[in-house]
Structure 1
């Protein structure tokens, strides 16, 4: 995707490219330098930005629309909005957070237009929700483990992660998560986002993000245990 000159591109509406609430990952000097290069029409800067984030944007978009084709459209429109709105970047969050927030807005817009989106309300855990993080059958009636989880220490996880079939099971376990849990674990554990960054991108409270992440990790681990026990 060639980079059009941002100076000649109509600016995206501000509500499509929100800076988001301030977080601990404010714009770095590298971010500011990259923005200056983009404003100067530097195609190499745009190419490096796409290379750094395109795959992650596509993975996140696929959570909220039910077609890879639509997800790719979301990502393409995100990059156009980035170029059109880069002059409005205020540095109150990292450039990465700002771009991902644009993606979330575009996914909401395109998903509604296609009539096939997963509702964004699914990111929030229902109030009073009492879903256990672990299957209650694993505990004895009086408390304590009836069937304790397998050990994940030593060098076993490294050996497991090298096995193609188990990697496939990890991907499948993530795909089976509810949208909110999948989005949080994708950002935190696959894309390496910090807690504040994930909260800003998904517009979640810290408490809700922490609950979603804990439940997602617990479910993934539970689904992987049969494979671990066989090793």
Structure 2
């Protein structure tokens, strides 16, 4: 398994050096922070490549490789990039024969249509949906219900769509980095993200109009 990162990230954690020092000193809280910081992204990468069935095994194997390789981390990429590359390599090496490629067979040739104007060609929102800023108990309850609605919509996406969406929206990775990590084309990545966003946006609109899924 390769331990060196190959994906160039567009942003770096400013405390990578200090954080790495804490890890190398064996600070227990640093390892807790490491898991909290990157576990979600690792699970998303593993799920996109091998599916949910083997995701936990891949992440566990990746953590072992990460811990063993920390002393050899040379900082040529960010710590996050290095960790996600190890995770992707673990998935591809261990489950190469069972790999779930993020193909476009279930998608139409044209993925335009209603809602396309909400996203730019770079995969960003053309206009960010307006959040709620009320603090009343009723408003807070609605926010919790909306959060549940979003989580349900994510669970209903394909593994590839949900993983690309989480890596882009929650982890802030650029589309080029996601494509390289998952070993899929940039066009494929854009389509998966677009379809995932449309599905989630449709679920939110149904909730806001009817008050439920």
- Equivalent of residue 45 in structure 1, options 11, 30, 50: 30
Answering whether residue 39 of structure 2 is matched by residue 54 of structure 1, we say yes
Deviation digits for residues 12-71 of structure 1, max 9, x if unmatched? x4x2x2311333235x5521232333334333322321222224433543453333xx43
Q: CA deviation at 1:200?
A: 4.5
> 1:3 corresponds to which residue?
none
**1:18-29 aligned within 5 A:** 18-26=4-12, 28=13
Unmatched segments (≥5 aa) in structure 1: 1-12, 137-150
Distance 2:140 2:182 in 1: 31
**1:191-202 aligned within 5 A:** 191-195=171-175, 197-202=177-182
Residues 71 and 207 of structure 1: CA distance in aligned 2, closer, same or farther (over 3 Å): closer
Residues 175 and 161 of structure 1: CA distance in aligned 2, closer, same or farther (over 3 Å): farther
> 2:201 corresponds to which residue?
221
Answer whether contact 1:199 1:209 (CA < 8 A) is retained: yes
Distance 1:157 1:59 in 2: 32
Q: CA deviation at 1:96?
A: 1.0
The count of residues paired between Structure 1 and Structure 2 equals: 194
Q: Which has the larger radius of gyration?
A: 1
Q: CA deviation at 1:106?
A: 2.0
Unmatched segments (≥5 aa) in structure 2: 116-127
Residues 166 and 42 of structure 1: CA distance in aligned 2, closer, same or farther (over 3 Å): closer
Answer whether contact 2:165 2:193 (CA < 8 A) is retained: yes
Q: Report the RMSD for the aligned CA atoms in angstroms.
A: 3.6
Distance 1:216 1:40 in 2: 41
Answering whether residue 171 of structure 2 is matched by residue 184 of structure 1, we say no
Distance 2:47 2:198 in 1: 22
TM-score (norm 2): 0.69
Distance 1:174 1:88 in 2: 36
Answering whether residue 76 of structure 2 is matched by residue 87 of structure 1, we say no
Distance 1:23 1:166 in 2: 32
**1:97-116 aligned within 5 A:** 97-112=81-96
SS of equivalent to 2:151: helix
Answer whether contact 1:133 1:219 (CA < 8 A) is retained: no
- Equivalent of residue 52 in structure 2, options 66, 69, 74: 66
Distance 1:72 1:20 in 2: 23
